[in-house]
């Protein structure tokens, strides 16, 4: 399947932002990566900031869409939480470069753009908290600080971008299941 030039530029930006960081990547670096003159690159994009915004927005939107489907499902909260963990881990592993850019570089956005991404990440956190709150209400989970619990789960799952290897000993599904077991069952004997 052929990709259009904008998608090629976005993929190059994702690769470079992950490797070098947003601030260390120049527009010339992106142009070189896709074989364009710097001036020609501006035919496809308005700025490097626009690329970072679209990349981070695409990533967080992917997380939100997947979690919304889980929340809409008619399964117990415990199963929703397991699915949420597995899906988060699978999305990170399947979109490793893009997710790394979201987690590491979204803070580089100008305040107005950063606020858009922050609102979407806050919405994502609220969806996680909703699953936990529903589980508490249904008697499936112990009551406590649902937001802090969600942050602990997300912190563990998000760190995957630092150590996950596609050819590693565990698949994303195995990692997600293991994380779910740890959070739901603990490690106490």
Report CA torsion sign: 98, 101, 103, 109: negative
- N residues, the chain: 189
Total number of domains constituting the chain: 2
- The reported pLDDT for the residue numbered 1 is 47
Domain, as residue range, for 132: 49-185
35 and 55 co-located in one domain: no
- The reported pLDDT for the residue numbered 189 is 78
> Are 89 and 179 spatial neighbours (Cβ–Cβ below 8 Å)?
yes
Q: What single DSSP character describes residue 22?
A: T
40 and 54 co-located in one domain: no
CATH number of the domain that residue 21 is part of: 1.10.10.60
HSE (CB half, 13 Å, CA atoms) of 133?
A: 9
* Digitized pLDDT (tens) for each residue of the chain, 189 residues in all: 446 889 999 999 999 999 999 999 999 999 999 999 999 989 999 999 999 999 999 999 999 999 999 999 999 999 999 999 999 999 999 999 999 999 999 999 999 999 999 999 999 999 999 999 999 999 999 999 999 999 999 999 999 999 999 999 999 999 999 999 999 998 887
Token digits for 73?
A: 């499902």
77 and 144 co-located in one domain: yes
Distance separating alpha carbons of residues 164 and 175, to the nearest angstrom: 10
Query: What angle separates helix 48-72 from helix 77-94, to the nearest 10 degrees?
Result: 150
């Amino acid at each position: 399947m052929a990709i259009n030039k904008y998608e090629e530029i976005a993929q190059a930006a994702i690769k470079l932002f992950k490797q070098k960081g947003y601030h260390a990547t120049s527009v010339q670096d992106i142009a070189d990566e896709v074989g364009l003159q710097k001036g020609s690159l501006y035919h496809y994009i308005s700025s490097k900031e626009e690329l970072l915004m679209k990349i981070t927005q695409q990533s967080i939107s992917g997380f939100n869409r997947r979690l919304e489907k889980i929340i809409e499902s008619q399964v117990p909260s415990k199963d929703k939480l397991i699915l949420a963990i597995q899906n988060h881990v699978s999305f990170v592993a399947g979109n490793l470069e893009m997710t790394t850019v979201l987690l590491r570089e979204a803070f580089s956005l100008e305040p107005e753009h950063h606020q858009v991404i922050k609102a979407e990440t806050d919405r994502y956190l609220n969806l996680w908290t909703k699953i936990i709150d529903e589980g508490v209400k249904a008697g499936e989970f112990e009551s406590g600080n649902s937001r802090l619990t969600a942050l602990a789960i997300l912190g563990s799952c998000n760190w995957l971008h630092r150590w996950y290897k596609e050819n590693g000993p565990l698949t994303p599904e195995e990692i997600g299941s293991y994380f779910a077991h740890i959070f739901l069952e603990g490690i106490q004997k």
